């Protein structure tokens, strides 16, 4: 498994180059960025040098975000397809094989109708990504307050997401598994053991404050090891089933952090070391 | 378009043979039955004679019902697949090309999760039917009281059903269009004109009592022409777009009717004649 | 059915505007062009005026060509996807609902492997087009000499193409039916009657010289009525099953024609009139 | 990885019970049988006792054969669907998650048309199996003499089969990888390393005589270690990528073997031990 860093949790980062350095200096072997950021990186260095820079610092591109708005109108959706083609092409040039999107647990639309529309749209996204050898990861979102943040309940757990992936029916769709959502959805070690590595496209690692589970806020996360989630168990299970991909930190907070990105990246590196050690994985 | 009769609205009918006679004597050219009833009919007469009997009375099999329980557990669903294979084979032997199921407008399950499961299950049903040259018709159900009869809203209109059909993504899935649901969903003549005949697997013709639309009960239907639905417009639109299939009566009532099936079939025949005449289609 | 004109058979045509005029002046209500030609047309007039110009001359866009190279490497295929998105968007702006590609009857690749690759690639093209409400038409190519022009036989008839469409399994894939290929594949009036209009995305009308069928050359076509194909029967059958789309001329010839496009468009108009009259369709 | 035994190579075996004993006594942890053989086994012992018997002897069901004739007419194909439902249900009762079929490298049909038909048919088989949690494994067949045994070349290598699996587009379709076909298709260690375990449904282990590769006969196999295939490399590669499923012997021979099944099973057990040892896997 490859420890990974995103900008969520380390404050302002100028560009991919800086993120690569912060990752590399603190024991991370992967970063999550957007397709646009990758193109800016190429613009700055040229493709070959950009790749060499990553290679030199032993950092891979873990995942890019899905640049398509699949949650609203057909028009909005269609408008994003060009960006998807571009991002897929760019990601493939870096050997990145994962593109992820999150799924909000409630919606103002009729939930059943929206599920039908979303199924069709993500099916097309998956097929386009597949042309570039990229998998699509769907991240269910567990925190309870979001289940009623919009009018109608949608889905927020592992089981429903797996069934949805089955309904989408494309070979390259899998889970973005986030320890935070696994925890807030009330899921177990055994739920993870039942997965096959091919079902997991990408992983996020975050910790939760010590409040009742149904009061955990999505944007009030803490660094791995600072909270109450059994992250050692989470990591052990993923290792046990043979997951070999990236495990990326994504600390969403209410206020932006006040430390420098150097300090935060160092803190993140130590946090990862601690929980990987607890899982006997260092 | 072919006028059709089902047992719903004509009381007790012994078997397919009797239904064929009631249809044939009252101007109907099609009947809706179950796969099991067709097999009983074959059991009674032999396949060749059964087909000859239909031929002689100029009655076709309009549609059979989907014999699979796709609304509950995976186990229940799987158990029905054998019956589906049998019914598809039997229906194909009679040249029947339509198999239909209705979609309740609310559900006790999480609506989004259930939509994902239902999409996958109906996809498989469609593929099995397709092997036998049979289309799968989905009937949305409009009456407002059923939208809250179970815990979570599902879908109940033309637009959502078409989007769902798109998400199912199989070539042989279309609408079972019922004038009663078209009316209670508040849909228009123009909504029908926007359809292509290939989108319509089967049609039901029923009329509604003169009560506010949101008080119309699903099981309190009246015979065509006795109510307030613009059935002439409904039929004209279907004819205009080139629909050539069966249009079958399905009168659901709170109390079973007290007249004989002979009287009710005659009444039905006259009702159809009246509304077809109003649509200038006789 | 709408008579249609393409540039194949009328020599050099400057741009869409000129083609529209040639069509309109000679009784044609549709033209076939490329997505790029449509964008040039917009570039010249602006979208609204371009649409108004078509409207004023009562000419529709019958079909655009598929701008993707699906017959060679994965790389080549991927490169065309951007153009496909653009062309689909442009075509949709003009209300065009058809995009077509031809299928050569032999290939230098292993035929089975190539069929698998082509199935996957055209599936994606169809899904992208579907986002824009556009159908994908596959044109089988009948002339015998092309069946051995490359190393391995591929497909060249109606039945195989329909089975392939079934295997592609997308809702919006149908036939581009060309009288020339129908004739050279040795197909009948009854073969056409067995089709449903939804299976036909687009139609070409051409005539063949009076030589043995297995000597008919793909690029040696004559104007409708000048040859030996039963075009009256072809048109009657399409009308009988309810086809309502465009029927477009595409005269491929060994030498470019020597007359002016005005003369050739007039000749084409009269040719269409003649065969439509023979089919009692004017 | 689990060593497995089939009847191919050990002569006459009365029933599943006997095969289980032969497997268990010689170090095998899996057997390949047919759905019908499993039902006979249940008929003889009852389901619970049959399962207990397997459990007690530490033998799993590796894979069943696909009971559907997908290589000929639509009618033949349809007739097998009932058996497929039954076999899937039976296999699932034993926790078996694999069902396999072989793909002949040539065909008397038009290869492209047959590929389209086969794609559609195997898609349906895969969906039915998926309802029961079972994967469908496709076995390409490498020996050169079979590539011209029928009129038209079909497919016979890893790359084509993977592309076909992509075209079938179902989540649960993978490879049945046979060392014999890997060898005769001229494939390498690196070809195996490029696979993910999720792409491999099942594995066969056989050895080939020391004759030129293009003269190797499909039905003239020898026991693992007796021939010239680099089986240690084959096994190492599978282990390296994380394959954890069954590896089953399937010795096809021109003449039935003359030794007793006891002797042959013992010989097989020793053969497996030898090549697993050479791969440092015992």
Q: Is any Cβ of chain B less than 8 angstroms from the Cβ of D131?
A: yes
pLDDT of residue C282: 72
- B217-251: per-residue pLDDT in tens? 999 999 999 999 999 999 999 999 999 999 999 99
Q: How many CB atoms lie within 10 A of CB C65?
A: 17
pLDDT of residue C77: 97
Classified as helix, coil or strand, D130 is helix
Angle formed by the axes of helices C81-93 and C111-131, nearest 10°: 40
Q: Is any Cβ of chain C less than 8 angstroms from the Cβ of D160?
A: yes
Cα angle for residues A163, A164, A170 (degrees, 5° grid):
105
Find out whether D157 and D140 touch, Cβ atoms under 8 Å: yes
What is the pTM (predicted TM-score) of this model?
0.96
Under an 8 A CB cutoff, do D163 and C120 touch? yes
Residue ranges of domains in chain A: 2-278
Instruction: Flag whether pLDDT at A213 surpasses 80.
Output: yes
CATH number, span A2-278:
3.20.20.150
Report the residue from D110, D111, D116 with minimal CB separation from C167: D116
Q: Is any Cβ of chain B less than 8 angstroms from the Cβ of C198?
A: yes
- List chains touching B (3+ CB pairs under 8 A): A, C, D
- A272-281: per-residue pLDDT in tens? 999 999 999 9
Classified as helix, coil or strand, A31 is strand
Under an 8 A CB cutoff, do B166 and C170 touch? no
pLDDT of residue A29: 98
Q: Which of D116, D117, D155 is best to mutate for the C interface (most C CBs within 10 A)?
A: D116
Under an 8 A CB cutoff, do B111 and A115 touch? yes
| A89 interaction partners in chain C (CB closer than 8 Å) | 78
Confidence of residue A282 (pLDDT cuts 50, 70, 90): confident
Residue C139 pairs in a beta bridge with: C102
- Can you read off the two tokens belonging to residue B161? 């059903």
pLDDT of residue A192: 98
Q: Is any Cβ of chain C less than 8 angstroms from the Cβ of A104?
A: no
- Can you read off the two tokens belonging to residue B21? 């006679």
| D131 interaction partners in chain B (CB closer than 8 Å) | 74, 77-78, 81, 124
| B196 interaction partners in chain C (CB closer than 8 Å) | 198
Measured between CA atoms, how close is A203 to chain D, in angstroms? 18
User: By CB neighbour count within 10 A (0-12 exposed, 13-18 middle, 19+ buried), where does C274 fall?
Assistant: middle
Q: Which residues of chain D have pLDDT under 70?
A: none
Helix (H) or strand (E) holding C191: helix C189-193
Whole-complex ipTM: 0.95
**Closest chain A residue to C81 measured between Cα atoms?**
A85
User: Which positions ≥6 away from A3 have C-beta within 8 Å?
Assistant: A27, A28, A29, A30, A246, A247, A272, A276
pLDDT of residue A211: 98
Instruction: Provide the mean pLDDT of chain C.
Output: 97
Cα radius of gyration rounded to whole Å, chain C? 18
Classified as helix, coil or strand, B209 is coil
Distance CA A273, CA C54 (A): 67
Under an 8 A CB cutoff, do B112 and A117 touch? no
Under an 8 A CB cutoff, do A163 and B123 touch? no
Q: Is any Cβ of chain D less than 8 angstroms from the Cβ of B132?
A: yes
Confidence of residue A152 (pLDDT cuts 50, 70, 90): very high
Under an 8 A CB cutoff, do A242 and D198 touch? no
Q: Is any Cβ of chain D less than 8 angstroms from the Cβ of C114?
A: yes
Under an 8 A CB cutoff, do B169 and C170 touch? yes
- C203-237: per-residue pLDDT in tens? 999 999 999 999 999 999 999 999 999 999 999 99
Give the 3-state secondary structure of D85-101: HHHHHHHHHCCCCEEEE
- A60-112: per-residue pLDDT in tens? 999 999 999 999 999 999 999 999 999 999 999 999 999 999 999 999 999 99
Q: Which residues of chain B have pLDDT under 50?
A: none
**Interchain CB contacts (distance < 8 Å): B and C:** 21
Confidence of residue C112 (pLDDT cuts 50, 70, 90): very high
**Closest chain D residue to A127 measured between Cα atoms?**
D169
Q: Is any Cβ of chain A less than 8 angstroms from the Cβ of C78?
A: yes
Q: How many CB atoms lie within 10 A of CB A45?
A: 15
Q: Is any Cβ of chain A less than 8 angstroms from the Cβ of C199?
A: no
pLDDT of residue B217: 97
Rounded-to-5 percentages of helix, strand, coil across chain D:
45, 15, 35
Q: Is any Cβ of chain C less than 8 angstroms from the Cβ of A85?
A: yes
Question: With the C-alpha atoms ordered A221, A222, A228, A230, is the resulting torsion angle positive or negative?
Answer: positive
pLDDT of residue C149: 97
Q: Which of A169, A171, A193, A239 is best to mutate for the D interface (most D CBs within 10 A)?
A: A171
Instruction: Provide the mean pLDDT of chain A.
Output: 97
Measured between CA atoms, how close is A109 to chain D, in angstroms? 29
Distance CA A32, CA A268 (A): 14
């Amino acid at each position: 498994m490859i420890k990974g860093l995103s900008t969520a949790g380390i404050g302002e980062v100028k560009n991919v180059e800086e993120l690569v350095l912060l990752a590399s200096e603190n024991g991370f072997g992967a970063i999550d960025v957007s397709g646009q950021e990758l193109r800016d990186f190429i613009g700055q260095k040229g493709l070959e040098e950009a790749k060499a820079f990553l290679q030199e610092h032993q950092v891979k591109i873990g995942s890019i975000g899905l640049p398509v708005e699949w949650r609203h109108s057909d028009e909005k959706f269609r408008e994003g397809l060009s960006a998807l083609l571009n991002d897929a092409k760019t990601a493939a040039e870096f050997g990145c094989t994962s593109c992820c999107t999150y799924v909000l647990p409630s919606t103002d639309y009729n939930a059943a109708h929206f599920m039908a529309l979303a199924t069709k749209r993500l099916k097309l996204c998956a097929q386009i990504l597949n042309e570039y050898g990229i998998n699509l990861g769907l991240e269910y979102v567990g925190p309870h307050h979001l289940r009623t943040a919009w009018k109608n309940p949608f889905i927020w757990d592992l089981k429903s997401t797996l069934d949805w992936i089955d309904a989408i029916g494309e070979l390259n769709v899998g889970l973005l598994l986030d320890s935070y959502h696994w925890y807030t959805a009330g899921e177990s070690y055994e739920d993870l053991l039942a997965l096959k590595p091919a079902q997991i496209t990408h992983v996020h690692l975050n910790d939760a404050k010590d409040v009742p589970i149904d009061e955990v806020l999505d944007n009030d996360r803490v660094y791995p090891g600072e909270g109450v989630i059994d992250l050692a168990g989470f990591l052990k299970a993923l290792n046990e089933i043979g997951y070999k991909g990236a495990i990326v930190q994504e600390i969403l907070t209410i206020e932006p952090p006040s430390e420098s990105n150097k300090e935060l990246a160092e803190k993140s590196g130590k946090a990862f070391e601690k929980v990987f050690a607890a899982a006997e994985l260092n």
